[in-house]
Structure 1
Amino acid sequence: MLTKIIRFFVVALLYLSAHSMTAQCAMCRASLESEGNTVKAEAVNDGIVYLMIFPYLLVGVVGYVVYRMFTKKKETA
C-alpha cells in the first residue's frame, strides 16, 4: 500500500515538473528571441520538451519490465 502511495507522488511530481522545464539551447533561444516573436520561441521550446519525454519513458518502461521479471522470478522460487 505504501509503495503505491510513493509511486503516485513520484509520478505526480514528475508530471508537474515537466511543465516548468525549459529545454532550449542558447543559440536557438537567442535567434528566436531576437526576432521579437515569443510565440515561436515558446512553440520551439515545447517541441523540444516533448521530444525529451520519450527517452525517459523508454527507460522507465524497460526498468519496469526488468523489475517485473525479477519479482516474478522470486515468486516462482
Structure 2
Amino acid sequence: MLNKEYRIKNIEQRESKSKLLLFFLFSIFFSLSSKAQCAMCRAALESEEGGVKAEAVNDGIVYLMAIPYVLVGVIGYFIYKMRYGKKKTQ
C-alpha cells in the first residue's frame, strides 16, 4: 500500500515538473517584443528623425531590466537544489 502511494506521488511530481518546464519553454519561445522608455528619454529621442538611437535606448533599458530577474532566478534555483537535493540522498 505504501509503495502504491509513493508511485502516485512520484507521478504527480513528474507531471507538475513537466507542466512547469512546458510553461517556461513556451514563455521563452513565444515572448512579445516590448518597448520600455522613461518620459525624459522619450522626449529627448523623439526629435531624432531616424529612430535608430531610440531603438538602441529601448534595447538597453530592456537589457538592464532583465539582468536582475535572471540573477534572482539562478540564485533561487541553486537554493532550491541545495535545499531539496539533500532530502533525496538521505
With normalisation by structure 2, the TM-score equals 0.68
- Between Structure 1 and Structure 2, whose CA radius of gyration is higher? 2
1:64 is displaced (CA, Å) by 0.3
1:50 is displaced (CA, Å) by 1.3
1:7 is displaced (CA, Å) by 1.7
Higher relative contact order (CA 8 A, sep 6+): 1
Count of aligned positions: 76
Amino acid at match of 1:6: L
5+ long unaligned stretches in structure 1: none
CA RMSD of aligned residues (A): 2.0
5+ long unaligned stretches in structure 2: 1-13
Alignment of 1:29-68 (within 5 A): 29-68=42-81
Q: Which 4+ stretches in 1 moved above 6 angstroms?
A: none
1:10 aligns with 24
1:26 aligns with 39
1:49 is displaced (CA, Å) by 0.9
